[in-house]
Amino acid sequence: MTGDTTRSSTDPANVRWVLLAIVGLGLALRLAHFRAISGTAYPDLPLIATELDMYATLEWAQAILAGDWLGRDTYHPYFQWMRGLASPETWYRWWGGKEIFQQAPLYPYSVALLWQLSARSLEGVILIQLVLGSLQPLVLYALAKQLFDARAGLVAAALAACYGPFIFYQGTLLRDWVPPLLEPLVLLLVLRARATGRAATWFSAGIVFGLALLTKETVLLFLPLVLLWILLTNRRSLPQACRAGGLLLLGLLLILSPLVWRNAMVGAPLLSISNRAPEGFIEGVAPDNYPIGLQYPPSMAGILERANGDFLRVIQETLALYRGDWQSVINKMVIKLRGVVDPIEVPNNLDFSYAVELSPVLRLTLGYGLIFPIGLTGVLASLRLWREHLPILLYGMAALAGLMSTVIVARYRLVLAPLLLVYGAAAIVCLWDLARERRLGRLAGGLALVSAVAVAQHLGAPIPVVHAHPVVTIYGAEYTLSSRLYAFGVGSIGPWLKSCGCGPGRPWLLNFQKRQTSSLKPSYGRANTGFNGPTSFSIGGRKKRRTCKYVWRRRPTRSTSATAVRST
């Protein structure tokens, strides 16, 4: 296997029609998924799941629409696990100030806009996101074509259209579906700018880079690497390197300028984007925490107190807990790498397996266990082209570094999927060419490499304690909350809330949430704690999803739903 997918003479007209069909397929799958979930409690979970990021996103969006566009009274969630550690004022000090955003702000502001455009309907927000997500194949087609040829581009587009986790997260109020759309676009524009030298393309790359940074902070790790690459590729012409890098930074700063202005207005550090880094690093690196699945180590409060809002001190204090035992640090990183490779979708906020039970179309889509072997094979086979692909490889390193600095859950590693799809498409095209040309020796070598990677992923990478843990076996939050919604007889409550003038934070919903919190503490509270202890969630004494299908897949009346819950 050579990894050579040279530019082909594919008819452009045919390519356009095939690409249009692929986009249509992706849209059809997303609409079918929307139809499956729209008749259930699934779209309304952000309204009542008060311990999840989705609820926090919606609350933040509501605060924006209430008139606090600058975030002067900056929204911060105060989850149950946070109450056990410190008061809100202490958390503000640990974060470096209340005025710093809770997370990169672009997605919550986008949700506020979509919430308003969709007449405050969560189903409307999800539908718009799914339609926007159907455009992702276009980005990966263009990136794969830039790196390889049009055939690889079409295969990459088809893989993106049918990749199940993309569809799943595009149907949630989680920001993780946006970086796999914006960050590959940054790579595409950088490669095109390098090939054409056009100032407008470098500037556009900076603009999209800024949007990606305002969506998720970890892409900042790629910035020094891409600037270094620009310098190295133009080392014989320093003015040209300064021009390219300057235009990229100019576009980036243009997008960041509203954030800088807002920070100046409210008294936050000018260049601050969010306060997520300290907690994320402690959760992923602290020696008293397991690095797969989201949980909160006992050492977190002490580290944050000693660091007192200084992220560098957080790193220092966290590593100091190892007392020089660097072998333990290496062992933790190895566990994380296994988690990155493992085909299982470790749940956080929502579980992919729950959505598969709910939406039959997701059962027909591609999963991580399929795209990783062909994607890594494509990367390995293309290493001889490393000079041309260096920005892509540097981005992959930055994305992996971001993952290794925090815990490993399925939604965080979604940023790796675009690269795996692009290089997987190149591998498929290459294997097809080898088969067509009857180069059986190289074809057998390529298939053997794919098989070896697949065996390592499915047999070597999985960690038994992760696969056996109840939080992964059955993530009880969705089932419990959905059954409670049905038991109270409200079904899909979004339209009902609108008709009665209620919304997040309104009296009716607050009372409903209090009843849910008091009734869910024994199960739902511990179901989110990860691998530190067993969960008490069970249905009928059996930890199986299908035992409660009647409860959460239908929208019954109050009487029938209560009967179903009791009988289950």
Burial class (CB in 10 A: 0-12, 13-18, 19+), 113: middle
Interval 141-187: pLDDT, tens: 999 999 999 999 999 999 999 999 999 999 999 999 999 999 999 99
Taking alpha carbons only, the member of 531, 166, 555 closest to residue 355 is 166
Average pLDDT of the chain is 85
pLDDT at 9: 47
Region 202-225 average pLDDT: 97
Angle at 92 between CA 89 and CA 96, to 5 degrees: 145
Contact 60, 109 (CB under 8 A): no
Phi, psi of 239 (to 5 degrees): -60, -35
Provide the whole-model pTM. Answer: 0.86
pLDDT at 536: 32
pLDDT at 338: 96
Q: Is the pLDDT of residue 190 over 80?
A: yes
Grouping H, G, I as helix, E, B as strand and the rest as coil, residue 408 is: strand
Interval 459-488: pLDDT, tens: 999 999 888 887 776 666 777 777 777 766
pLDDT at 41: 83
- d(CA 3, CA 150) in angstroms, rounded, equals 15
- Angle, nearest 10°, between helix axes 12-38 and 122-133? 160
Taking alpha carbons only, the member of 386, 462, 312, 290 closest to residue 3 is 386
* Alpha helices per DSSP H over 382-475: 390-404, 417-436, 440-455, 464-468, 470-473
Q: Which residue has the higher pLDDT, 368 or 52?
A: 368
pLDDT at 470: 76
Interval 388-443: pLDDT, tens: 999 999 999 999 999 999 999 999 999 999 999 999 999 999 999 999 999 999 99
Phi, psi of 292 (to 5 degrees): -115, 125
Task: Kindly tell me the number of DSSP H helices and DSSP E strands found in the chain.
Answer: 31, 0
Q: Is the pLDDT of residue 210 over 60?
A: yes
- d(CA 152, CA 149) in angstroms, rounded, equals 5
- d(CA 79, CA 77) in angstroms, rounded, equals 6
Instruction: Indicate the domain borders of the chain.
Output: 473-567
pLDDT at 475: 66
Q: Which of 232-246, 378-392, 552-566 has the lowest mean pLDDT?
A: 552-566
Contact 362, 33 (CB under 8 A): yes
Taking alpha carbons only, the member of 555, 539, 559, 537 closest to residue 547 is 539
Task: Please give the single-letter amino acid code of residue 322.
Answer: Y
Interval 492-523: pLDDT, tens: 444 444 444 444 443 434 444 444 434 433 33
